[in-house]
Amino acid sequence: MSVAVLGSGAFGTALAISLANEGPVTMWARDADHAREMQNSRENSRRLPGAVLPDALTVTAELDRATQADVVLLAVPMQKLRQVVSENADLLRERTIVACCKGIELNSGLGPIAVLRECLPQTTSALLTGPSFAADIAIGLPTALTLACQDEAQGKVLQQQLTTSNLRLYRTTDTIGAELGGALKNVMAIACGAVIGAGLGDSARAALMTRGYAEMQRMAIASGARAETMAGLSGFGDLTLTCSSELSRNYRLGLSIGRAEPFDPSVTVEGAATARAVHEEAQSRKLDMPITAIVVALLDQRLTIADAAAQLLSRPLKEE
Ligand SMILES: NC(=O)C1=CN([C@@H]2O[C@H](COP(=O)(O)OP(=O)(O)OC[C@H]3O[C@@H](n4cnc5c(N)ncnc54)[C@H](OP(=O)(O)O)[C@@H]3O)[C@@H](O)[C@H]2O)C=CC1
Ligand SMILES: O=C(CO)COP(=O)(O)O
């Protein structure tokens, strides 16, 4: 079995490093100079500095070479997934595709697997998601992830193929739940970062995480996902990690909002677009998602943190 990773960002590089400890891996970068530099220096100094690329990992800018692999991991941001897949559909059609992104597409309201299904209807598609920082994976720290694939038999094969000495994969056929867990936890991480950044305290963060989880469950159940999936690695697990660590870019965006500090717009922060997509979806489906609505208002600078807190605290009292 051969593996390729398309996208040489932090996550793609970390996965490629871990997988290359088990066998040959090809990683594709869209920028030829960047690919050459990584191949020669054995480091991705732009996206994951300090991690050594093993000898079994080849970096290339030639997509047709990378897509010779049996299994192709797509580690590009959610809002770029459709473009990358549809532009290269001929090369990807015969492969098994594993999306590694977390988010909901603006305009369509679809998650990664649903986008793959639209672009490559005949192709087996799966999702790799769950609590994992690229920096941890790259240095061999232990990590547990969810491999979601609607086809149970294919999911079992992928679980075996993509498990490594430091990546332990659990599998599920609930692709909707896995998509929503990974997408929605980023929105909650922005909210939690804002609370901590504004000095509102750990108790307020715990309240937001818990009520954020209730919001995630509400959307998931209404979308046909299983509650157990939300309670697993892709939901609760990733919510816990992302809402409590400054390694998270979503959390750091929230911190900057809470501190009224600028944030580098070139950093990949999936939760920002996802919050807008989910808010729209929630409104049209009449789902109560107040934290998501507040995150959108904060991103649009329509609300101060003080007003946001006041709004949440003054909602009608109800049963938990
Ligand atoms: N970083 C992490 O710890 C984790 C990330 N993820 C998820 O992985 C996904 C990717 O994140 P991450 O790797 O961190 O992001 P990065 O910002 O580090 O990298 C994004 C990568 O996507 C490439 N890219 C962007 N747009 C395009 C395009 N149009 N065509 C081809 N390639 C493109 C970039 O290329 P270039 O370098 O040329 O700009 C870059 O290699 C996200 O959905 C994230 O949520 C999941 C778990 C952990
Ligand atoms: O998804 C992640 C951890 O599981 C990475 O989080 P950020 O994208 O917020 O950095």
Q: Is 247 a domain residue?
A: yes
User: Among 140, 173, 206, which residue terminates a domain?
Assistant: 173
CA 133 – ligand 2 centroid, Å: 6
Q: Which ligand neighbours the alpha carbon of 128 most closely? A: 1
Residue pair 236/213 in contact (Cβ under 8 Å)? The answer is yes
Helices 270-284 + 249-258 axis angle, to 10: 80
Instruction: Identify the CA nearest to 239 among candidates 214, 203, 256.
Output: 214
The CATH number for 199's domain is 1.10.1040.10
In the prediction, which pLDDT does 177 show? 98
Same-domain pairing of 19 and 130 = yes
Average the pLDDT over 4-24 and give the result. Answer: 98
- DSSP class of residue 150 equals S
Same-domain pairing of 144 and 53 = yes
Tokens (6 digits) for 246? 């400054």
pLDDT digits (tens, 9 = 90+) for 187-236: 999 999 999 999 999 999 999 999 999 999 999 999 999 999 999 999 99
Q: Report the C-alpha gap between 132 and 238 in whole angstroms.
A: 8
Band of pLDDT at residue 241, cut at 50, 70 and 90 = very high
In ligand 2, the atom with minimum distance to the C-alpha of 251 is: 9
Band of pLDDT at residue 97, cut at 50, 70 and 90 = very high
The CATH number for 47's domain is 3.40.50.720
Averaged confidence pLDDT in the chain: 97
Ligand-binding site membership of 134 (annotated): yes
Same-domain pairing of 269 and 128 = no
Residue nearest to atom 26 of ligand 1 (CA): 80
Same-domain pairing of 268 and 302 = yes
Helices 175-197 + 270-284 axis angle, to 10: 110
Q: Which ligand neighbours the alpha carbon of 254 most closely? A: 2
Ligand-binding site membership of 90 (annotated): no
Query: What stretch of H or E contains 164?
Result: none
CA 199 – ligand 1 centroid, Å: 31
The boundaries of the domain holding residue 46 are: 3-173
pLDDT digits (tens, 9 = 90+) for 266-319: 999 999 999 999 999 999 999 999 999 999 999 999 999 999 999 999 999 999
Paired with 71 in beta bridges are 3, 96
Q: Which ligand neighbours the alpha carbon of 244 most closely? A: 2
Band of pLDDT at residue 100, cut at 50, 70 and 90 = very high
Same-domain pairing of 164 and 189 = no
CA 85 – ligand 2 centroid, Å: 22
Residue 267 CA, chain-centre distance (Å), reads 14
Q: Report the C-alpha gap between 318 and 241 in whole angstroms.
A: 28
Q: Report the C-alpha gap between 219 and 213 in whole angstroms.
A: 10
In 155-290, the DSSP E strands lie at 167-172
Whether the per-residue pLDDT at 1 is higher than 90: the answer is no
User: Among 138, 173, 208, which residue terminates a domain?
Assistant: 173
pLDDT digits (tens, 9 = 90+) for 32-90: 999 999 999 999 999 999 999 999 999 999 999 999 999 999 999 999 999 999 999 99
Q: Kindly state the percentage of the chain with pLDDT values over 70.
A: 100
Q: Is 320 a domain residue?
A: no
Same-domain pairing of 68 and 199 = no
Mutate to test the pocket of ligand 2, among 234, 240, 242, 247 (most ligand atoms within 8 A of CB): 242
318 is catalytic: no
Mutate to test the pocket of ligand 1, among 11, 136, 248 (most ligand atoms within 8 A of CB): 11
Same-domain pairing of 28 and 137 = yes
How many domains in the chain?
2
Q: Is 114 a domain residue?
A: yes
CA distances to 116, 170, 204, 209 from 28, rounded to whole Å, are 19, 26, 42, 36
Ligand-binding site membership of 309 (annotated): no
Same-domain pairing of 193 and 130 = no
User: Does the CA dihedral 141-148-220-187 come out positive or negative?
Assistant: positive
Same-domain pairing of 282 and 200 = yes
Residue pair 208/197 in contact (Cβ under 8 Å)? The answer is no
Same-domain pairing of 259 and 200 = yes
CA 267 – ligand 1 centroid, Å: 9
Same-domain pairing of 124 and 30 = yes
